[in-house]
Amino acid sequence: QDLRCGRPSVSGSHVCNQYGTSGSLPGEKKELLQNGPDLQDFVSGDLSDKSRWADYKGNLKREKGERLHLPPWLKTKIPMGKNYNKLKNTLRSLNLHTVCEEARCPNIGECWGGGEYATATATIMLMGDTCTRGCRFCSVKTAKNPPPLDPQEPYNTAKAIAEWGLDYVVLTSVDRDDMPDGGAEHFAKTVRHLKERNPKILVECLTPDFRGDLKAVEKVASSGLDVYAHNVETVPALQRKVRDPRANFEQSVRVLKHAKEVQPGVISKTSIMLGLGETDEQVYSTMKLLREADVDCLTLGQYMQPTKRHLKVEEYITPEKFKYWEKVGNDLGFHYTASGPLVRSSYKAGEFFLKNLVEKRKTKAI
């Protein structure tokens, strides 16, 4: 309130009466406009101060028929810059796809830009950019019969990643229900090529559920990767609404469990989107179920509607609530819980993983 010093509200209402327009806004909205921030507040840069997110007065929970506005903590910069463009050009020249572009990730500028340590992270999407399932939260293209796999892709991907000199890479793929093994062999080949070229690189694979085919899971899990990831996406109660009907919670948890059985040293990881209408109890019970399935890492992010054909956002979870879930996750015993509105499955995956590993090693040494 101290920002609006010396601005009498009397003059505002006087102007209104002068023009004889009473407007159609309700009384409280009018008051908000009169007593709320004016141009000076925006220009001075005070409103971008993160500590004022608690003051955000917009609606965070969707009522029937309305569409929520994007709260300030979800607004990101437009991706630009040398690193971003370099990555984009390399990807196109090698005919590679990234889920960053296909799924319209809001962090693309930040991850590809490289951040303060200049380590660009990109999540390469194998087996093309067209999926055989249509989930209601995902904007990746869908087709009944996507184009056939490129047999050179494992080799090209390994070559590109080796060129970039990354320390940590995330490989993901679309669902390929049209292939007999769901694309597991293609996936495994890519990991093997990668490890051949650079044995020290850390590889994380974010796999589909292969329709529950555990042999395919085994193929990928024993290819030499370090982290096996598969997203459950949401709480069990909302699985039918959010995901394709061919996917479900039990199948996904089975995949994660089996990966650990086949390769005991591997680290398993999963991810949940918040804001689709789940309750706190549902989220907590889901986290417990995942911990019981011996999942090591968990990421929680805010669901954002990619296009008008997808589900509307039911609720925008505040950053404070995300911090609360992070604490809950750590208390439940996950290796790490990455939780934030813009956190995605592979957001700063390398940083979290390595930081965690380094810290654990330190505590062991002590």
For other proteins, the closer CB: 138 or 266:
138
**Counting contacts by CB under 8 A, is residue 132 touching other proteins?**
yes
Give residues 173-192 in contact with other proteins (rule: CB under 8 A).
none
CA 91 to chain centre: 21
Residue ranges of alpha helices (H) inside the chain are: 9-19, 27-35, 39-44, 82-93, 99-102, 108-113, 153-164, 184-197, 214-221, 239-242, 249-262, 280-292, 319-332, 349-365
Judged by CB under 8 A, which of 309, 320, 358, 365 binds other proteins? 309
Q: Which of 187, 334, 210, 225 is nearest to 272 (CA)?
A: 334
Given the structure tokens 């991907």, which residue do they identify? 157
Among 2, 5, 17, 64, binds other proteins (CB under 8 A): 64
**Span 137-156, contacts to other proteins by CB under 8 A:** 138, 141-144
Nearest residue to 111 (alpha-carbon basis) of 83, 86, 147 = 83
How many CA atoms are closer than 13 Å to the CA of 259, on its beta-carbon side?
34
- Does 317 engage in binding with other proteins (CB under 8 A)? no
- Contact flag: residue 288 with other proteins (CB under 8 A): no
Burial of 237 (0-12, 13-18, 19+ CB in 10 A): middle
308 binds other proteins (CB under 8 A): yes
- Residue 257 or 310 with smaller CB distance to other proteins: 310
Q: Which stretch binds other proteins (CB under 8 A): 76-84, 92-100, 159-167, 244-252?
A: 244-252
Token couple for 200: 């020290």
Task: Tell me the closest approach of the beta carbon of residue 288 to other proteins, in angstroms.
Answer: 20
Residue 88 binds to other proteins (criterion: CB under 8 A): no
Does residue 281 belong to the site contacting other proteins (CB under 8 A)?
no
Q: Which of 8, 27, 65, 264 binds other proteins (CB under 8 A)?
A: 65
Contact between 221 and other proteins by CB under 8 A: the answer reads no
| Residue 246 found at the interface with other proteins (CB under 8 A) | yes
The answer to whether the beta carbons of residues 306 and 71 sit under 8 Å apart is no
Cβ at position 131, least distance to other proteins in Å? 8
| 119 in contact with other proteins (CB under 8 A) | no
248: its two tokens: 């479900």
> Which residues are annotated binding-site positions for [4Fe-4S] cluster?
100, 105, 111, 131, 135, 138, 346
Is residue 296 within 8 Å of 256, Cβ to Cβ? Answer: no
CA distance 228 to 119: 22
What angle, 0 to 180 degrees and rounded to 10, lies between the N-to-C axes of helices 184-197 and 214-221? 10
The reply to whether 277 sits near other proteins by the rule CB under 8 A is yes
d(CA 99, CA 91): 12
133 binds other proteins (CB under 8 A): yes
Q: Could you tell me the smallest distance in angstroms from the CB atom of residue 218 to other proteins?
A: 27
Which CB, 285 or 305, lies closer to other proteins? Answer: 305
C-alpha distances in Å from residue 3, one per residue of 10, 131, 268: 17, 51, 49
Q: Please identify which residue in 245, 280, 294, 327 interacts with other proteins, judged by CB under 8 A.
A: 245
Cβ distance to other proteins smaller for residue 142 or 251: 142
Of residues 4, 248, 312, 330, which one binds other proteins by CB under 8 A? Answer: 312
Residues 6+ apart with CB under 8 A from 318: 53, 60, 71, 73
Q: Which of 115, 134, 212, 224 binds other proteins (CB under 8 A)?
A: 134
Query: Least Å distance between CB 97 and other proteins?
Result: 18
Residue with tokens 């019970």: 285
The smaller minimum CB distance to other proteins, of residues 149 and 162, is found at 149
User: What is the contact surface with other proteins in residues (CB under 8 A)?
Assistant: 64-65, 131-136, 138, 141-144, 237-238, 240-241, 244-246, 277, 305, 308-312
